[in-house]
A and B are shown apart, each in its own frame.
Chain A
Amino acid sequence: MQLNEDQIFALAPDEASKKAGRDLAVPGKWVTRGINPQALWGECQGSGSKPYQTQVDLSNVAFKCSCPSRKFPCKHGLGLLLLHSRQPSLFTQSDMPAWVSDWINKRGEKVEKKAEQAEKPINEAAQNKRQQAREQKVSDGIADLLIWIKDIIRNGILSIPEKNAGYWDNMARRMVDAQASGLAGMVRTLGATNFWQEGWQTTFMDRLLQLYMVAQSYGHLPDINDALQQDIRTSIGFTINQEELKQQIGVTDIWLVLGKEAADEQQITVERHWFYGLKTQQYALFLQFMAKGQFGQVALSPGVFIEAELVFFPSAIPYRAVIKTYKVLSQTTQSVQPLAGWRQVAEHETALNSQLPFRNEIPMVVAGLKPVQYQQYWWLQDAEGNLGRLPAEFSNIWRLMALGGGEALTMAVIGGEGEYRPLGIWHQHIYKII
């Protein structure tokens, strides 16, 4: 595996770590350095008498370091990867020392243990009973929720911005009591609408209607196809055991990491990775949830190719996925097969929406787009002259322009209803995030 500098920096938990990692990417800081196909390791002389032992699992990009830092990866891990990226000749091919091989072996054992745990028998009768009780609770909760939604609609949304936090919080808690955590989250998101922003009414109504559709459809589950039922149940908060999911056969492909974004949601950091399958042309969303001080199990940078088996959550449009196995590829000969332009994008959106009316935004790779100015706004124009609007808050227009120089580019975009923001572009055959 060979990550470039941008990809390594994309792994950094914050700006300070990037900076500190860069300072450590000098040979003089490392007492020992080594590499083999499984791992990269080194001993970094810190302020203490004993050097820190830093190691990177190269097959799954995992880090371990003996330093006391709570950041992940720590500056030593980043520094070691950076140094290897800049001066690979400094790392001699050798057998792993004991402190590295112990860790690598333990990681293997962990995977085996998890598999063993999954094999333990389950009391199905008790599980069914619990499930029925929960469904009753959810039904009761949804009945209350629908009354609440109707109250909002009856009184009009004009005075909604004046509601205090308790108004939203009470209903969110009611949904938590009803074991419908998904609906609780949707209620909180509804209350978090930016009422100071022009056009808040549309944002608010979009969210309210999504909530209404999910809540209303729960009473009609038997009339709905199995895949869509799963979407509704997932939206309500019925979780799917990821370990069980991983037991299923997934989609194996070479996946390009199109983008990575993190957002704080209710004291939890949600990290989104968007993947694009080069052979299947399928898109996937991989989520990691991290409480403060914790770190994700997978660290991937945009632009990286992984050969991976992804198992998709059951859905009318399989999109969210878990990673069953993966390894990072240094390069690939597979190329992307983009959509031709905005008309194809619109048709694709229509098809997706007809299958799942309350879906998340899904990225798309589109060819031949170039930014143009029209009526004082920036748009992306396709080869036919069709325009897709760039969001007004899109701040990287100048980077996009500078890289393109007026040439049409293949881009990964995400959005909807004719407004899309680029996640990344192919510039001189290299995928770069925007």
Chain B
Amino acid sequence: MKAWDQIINAAMLGTDKPMPARGDVSVEIVDLNMIIDTIDGSDKEDRFLQKAALVYNYRRSGFVPVKKQEVTLTMAENESLPYCSTQAVSLLNNILEEDNAWLFKFWLFRCAAKQQLLIPDHLPVALDKAQKDTELQQVTITCSGKRGEWLSRFNPHWNYFQSTPDDEIWLTGKPEERLKVLQKTRREDPEKALQMIRETWDQENAASKADLVKTLKANLSKTDLDWLESVQTEKSQKVKDELLDLLTSIPGSAINQKYENLLRQSVSLKKEKGLLGLMSKVGIQQKLPDSFDESIFKMGIEKFATGKSTTSDEGYIIYQLVSLVPPSFWEKQFEVSPDVVVEYFDKYAKSLLPALSQAVIRFNADNWIPFLLDQSQFYPEFFYKLNAEDQEKYLLHFFYNDSFNTIQNALTSTNEWGLKFTLTAMHFMANNPYHYNRNFFKENIRVINPGILPKLESITSKDANLQNNWEKIRDYLNKLLALKQQIRQVF
């Protein structure tokens, strides 16, 4: 308002400075201004304040609204799916209040699985959370329904609702986005992923080449071999290392054949007749041939054992070779089944058993896993491939000797822990409440089995000094588990 701007300008400088002339005052109040000027006995400050009060009241007395009929708002479409129940709404309020990211995610996934929707009240908070956590984006889109999609159009931060086609991301996206697209394609259509890399290979820089090659590890097969071998001339050491890692993981690759040939000559099963020829004595002989193709030392095999190692250089070379050939090699080499191979290694070449395990992992030889579970070392890769029941057995096998690390390993499970392991771990945790504190349970409620709820109260700390702390943590855990259980009940 012009009159008010004049008041502010005059007030800034003060009445000691020249005041606006009458002609500068807005027409709406010019007459009243003149009356104020004629009041007897008033000084210039009084007159200014009265004029200012007049304009202030003029300004405050209503307003003329801006009329803009052409400004419109589209309507959100009606939902085709039902909203979640009032119990689910109330539960979500509790989860949001608890500020537990995993429970929120779990609620969303269950809601989506039941084809139900978030109520409009929850949309802003859900959309905000998904903006920060990309893992939540797809499920949030599903649970937000048409109202959420409509709402997202008004907030640029929620643009993840408008998905860009994978092909476009691959060609124009950021490196991390391109990598995600490639990983997804590799899982769904391995050959297409290889084709995508081939097409853009020459335009990629060394850093992204290494990352892209790494994605081929998923669903790696002989069909990748030709291309991988053709790009071995790459200059970047990082890319070379990645290529070598892949080539060594493909049975039948030239490099793999070299390893096998050398190993065939170096490790053999030795059977000797025992006393009176009644019993045969078995042994595993490990000895490198006097001369062999030393090019393997440029192809992923270290020539010398590290200084601190107790293994000889020869033993170390053999160890590396064992870890880099498919386990099926031994079935032919020893002419026995996998369980017997493992038995022989265990009896006659125990130091090579970890190398054999690594080979099982590298070549996804899952049929060998059951025979390697009794080792003293925990292999996460074996653990992930076991069913829930076997996972629990595997964990319990290690728990009593190394509880801390076993729990740490168990936390990497994609499944919820079995009831027996949960109970066993919980008794241990009750005695280590400073390690397994509220934050630990907040972060890891995903794996804790709510089946222990009826027994939770009876789990106590042996040390009376720790009991008080544990009780507080237990109450908190109780609350989180109850929420987890309720999510399963309401959906």
The answer, yes or no, to whether A27 is at the interface (CB within 8 Å) is no
On chain A, the number of residues with a Cβ less than 8 Å from chain B's Cβ atoms is 57
**The one of A156, A388, A398 that contacts B11, using a Cβ cutoff of 8 Å:** A156
**B123 located at the interface, meaning its Cβ lies under 8 Å from any Cβ of chain A in the complex:** yes
A283 at the B interface (CB under 8 A): no
Q: Which residues of A contact B62 (CB under 8 A)?
A: 346-347, 349-350, 353
B71 with A385: CB separation less than 8 A: yes
- Tell me the smallest distance from the CB of A396 to a CB of chain B, in Å: 8
Provide the residues of chain B in CB contact with A5, threshold 8 Å.
Answer: 90, 93
Check: A371 CB closer than 8 A to any chain B CB: yes
For the complex, give the distance between the alpha carbons of A387 and B67 in Å: 6
Q: What B residues does A86 contact at CB under 8 A?
A: 90
Task: Please tell me if A154 contacts chain B, counting CB pairs below 8 Å.
Answer: yes
- Which residues from chain B contact A216 at a C-beta distance below 8 Å? 49
Q: Are A150 and B49 in contact (CB under 8 A)?
A: yes
Q: In the bound complex, what is the Cα–Cα distance between A385 and B73 (angstroms)?
A: 11
> Restricting to B31-87, which residues have a CB under 8 Å from any CB of A?
43, 45-46, 48-49, 52-53, 56-57, 59-76
Q: Quote the shortest CB–CB distance from B21 to chain A (angstroms).
A: 18
A359 to B210, CA, bound (A): 70
Chain B residues in 8 Å Cβ range of A386: 65-68
A372 to B48 Cα, complex, angstroms? 40
- Given the interface pairs A205-B56, A387-B65, A417-B59, the reply to whether A153 lies near B76 with Cβ below 8 Å is no
Distance of A80 Cα from B56 Cα, bound (Å):
51
Contact of A153 among B8, B48, B97 (CB under 8 A): B48
**B207 interface residue per 8 A CB criterion:** no
B380 surroundings in chain A (CB, below 8 A): none
Q: Among the listed A158, A201, A357, which residue makes an inter-chain contact with B60, where contact means beta carbons less than 8 Å apart?
A: A357
Question: B154 at interface (Cβ–Cβ under 8 A)?
Answer: yes
Give chain A nearest CB distance to B150 CB in angstroms.
Answer: 7
Interface string of B137-151 (1 = CB under 8 A from A): 000000000010011
Considering the chains assembled together, what is the distance between the CA atoms of A407 and B120 in angstroms?
A: 13
Q: How far, in angstroms, from A372 to B65 measured CA to CA in the complex?
A: 14
User: Smallest Cβ distance from B33 to chain A, in angstroms?
Assistant: 15
How many Å lie between the Cα of A249 and that of B62 in the bound state?
A: 32
Residue B175 is within 8 A (CB to CB) of chain A in the complex: no
Pairwise interchain contact B12-A157, C-beta atoms closer than 8 A: yes
Collect the chain A residues with CB atoms within 8 Å of residue B76's CB.
405-406
- The answer to whether A154 and B65 touch across the interface, beta carbons within 8 angstroms, is no
Nearest 4 interchain pairs by C-beta: A156-B14, A385-B69, A350-B62, A386-B65
> CB-CB contacts of B1-28 with A at 8 A, as 1s and 0s?
0001001100111111100000000000
Q: Check B61–A350 contact: CB distance below 8 A.
A: yes
* Residue pair A357, B13 in contact (C-beta under 8 Å): no
A19: B residues at CB distance < 8 A: 97-98
Assess the A353–B61 pair: CB atoms within 8 A.
yes
Q: Does B124 contact A (CB under 8 A)?
A: yes
B154 touches A401 (CB 8 A): yes
A160 to chain B, nearest CB (A): 9
A370 to B154 Cα, complex, angstroms: 14
Q: B124 and A398: CB pair below 8 A? A: yes
The proximity string for A residues 371-391 relative to B, scoring 1 for CB distances below 8 Å and 0 otherwise, is 111100001011011111000
By the criterion CB–CB under 8 Å, are B52 and A209 in contact?
yes
Contacts A209-B56, A213-B53, A417-B59 given; does A158 touch B67 at CB 8 Å: no
* A373 near B154: Cβ-Cβ < 8 Å: yes
- Residues of A within 8 Å of B57, CB to CB, are 353, 357
The chain B residue with its CB closest to the CB of A407 is: B75
Q: Does B155 contact A (CB under 8 A)?
A: yes
Known: A153-B14, A381-B73. A374 touches B68 (CB 8 A): yes
A209 touches B68 (CB 8 A): no
Distance in Å from the Cβ of B297 to the closest Cβ of chain A?
Answer: 63
Q: B11 and A153: CB pair below 8 A? A: yes
Given the interface contacts A155-B14, A205-B11, does A349 sit within 8 Å of B63 by beta carbon? yes
CB nearest neighbor in B for A382: B65
B52 contact set on A, CB distance < 8 A: 205, 209
Q: Let me know if B485 is at the binding interface, CB within 8 A.
A: no
B60 A416 Cβ-Cβ under 8 A:
yes
Q: Does A240 contact B (CB under 8 A)?
A: no
Smallest Cβ distance from A398 to chain B, in angstroms? 4
CB distance from A81 to the nearest CB of B (A): 14
Q: Are B68 and A387 in contact (CB-based, < 8 A)? A: yes
Give Cα distance in the complex from A5 to B92, angstroms.
Answer: 13
Interchain nearest-CB distance for A148 vs B (Å): 11
Partner of B63, one of A201, A372, A418: A418
Taking a contact as CB atoms under 8 Å apart, the answer to whether A405 and B120 are in contact is yes
In Å, the complex CA distance between A379 and B67 comes to: 11
A343 at the interface (CB under 8 A from B): yes
Contact A406 B73 (CB under 8 A): yes
User: Which residues from 93 to 127 on chain B have a C-beta closer than 8 Å to any C-beta of chain A?
Assistant: 93-94, 97-98, 120-121, 123-124, 127
Please tell me if A132 contacts chain B, counting CB pairs below 8 Å: no
Alpha-carbon separation in the docked complex, A381 to B93 (Å): 31
Report the separation of the CA atoms of residues A370 and B66 in the bound assembly, to the nearest whole angstrom: 15
Sample (8) of A-B pairs whose CB atoms are under 8 Å apart: A22-B97, A155-B14, A157-B12, A205-B52, A385-B71, A386-B68, A402-B121, A402-B147
